[in-house]
Amino acid sequence: MVKSLVTGLCLAVFAAVIIGLSNLLGLDLEHVALLGAALGGVLGLVPHRPAWGKVVGFLVGFLLAWLGFALRAAVLPDSSSGRAVAAFVVVALIAVVAAVSRGRLPLWSGLVGAASIVGAYESVYTNAPSQFLSESPAAATTVLLAVGLGFLATNLLAAQTDSSTPGTVRRTNGKPTKRAEASGSNTNLDDLVTGATK
């Protein structure tokens, strides 16, 4: 409970810092500060092995969704059918990448990556589809910066709390080397999926 509160407060501070940086550096981060901090927090908090897999999965989903906007701008009609085709292609490709990677690049992180660019750029794209080449890079870089700061916040905090938490399950080559204490067993999602805990 305390860890969740501290992590949430840390993310709140980082969201405020993102907005402060936006004003200080003349960047357009205000509208993506909460979105980026929240999605970066999710990316940092959800456990996955290997750890780099969730980051690469995020970037793949982000890139595929950005290419979905390019597909809409270049080929598809600006209608609900065009948006439906683009959404289908993007989500299907993210699922294929996750399947081909055999779970190393998790589906959820690819979807988070797609959601970040869509959340930051969809309204801008809707207002001016013909400005895709000039507007989308700015939206992409601003939301990536916000996500990166949110990810950094949760990882810095997790590194400090994990080293001081008693009964944490440690792993060597995917196998537990120390069991959680019976009084305070902490089972994470990866352990449930792999069946490492009983």
Q: Using one digit for the tens of pLDDT, what is the confidence trace for 84-135?
A: 999 999 999 999 999 999 888 999 999 999 999 999 888 888 888 888 888 8
Asked, for residue 178, whether it belongs to a domain, the answer is: no
Burial class from Cβ neighbours inside 10 Å (0-12, 13-18, 19+) for residue 43 reads: buried
Number of domains in the chain: 1
- What CA–CA distance (Å, rounded) separates 142 from 147? 9
φ and ψ of 111, to 5 deg: -65, -35
Asked, for residue 90, whether it belongs to a domain, the answer is: yes
Asked, for residue 79, whether it belongs to a domain, the answer is: yes
Asked, for residue 192, whether it belongs to a domain, the answer is: no
Q: Using one digit for the tens of pLDDT, what is the confidence trace for 18-27?
A: 777 766 766 6
Structural domain boundaries, residue 135: 2-160
Asked, for residue 25, whether it belongs to a domain, the answer is: yes
Q: Using one digit for the tens of pLDDT, what is the confidence trace for 150-196?
A: 888 787 765 555 554 444 444 545 555 544 433 344 444 444 344 44
If you write DSSP's letter for every residue of 98-163 in order, what string do you get?
Answer: HHHTTTSS-HHHHHHHHHHHHHHHHHHHHH-GGGHHHHHHHHHHHHHHHHHHHHHHHHHHHHHHHH
pLDDT the model gives residue 169: 47
Q: Is the pLDDT of residue 70 over 50?
A: yes
pLDDT the model gives residue 130: 85
The CA–CA distances, whole Å, from 77 to 27, 45, 109 equal: 32, 38, 29
Asked, for residue 183, whether it belongs to a domain, the answer is: no
pLDDT the model gives residue 129: 86
Asked, for residue 171, whether it belongs to a domain, the answer is: no
Q: Which position has the higher pLDDT, 84 or 29? A: 84
- What CA–CA distance (Å, rounded) separates 80 from 66? 18
Asked, for residue 63, whether it belongs to a domain, the answer is: yes
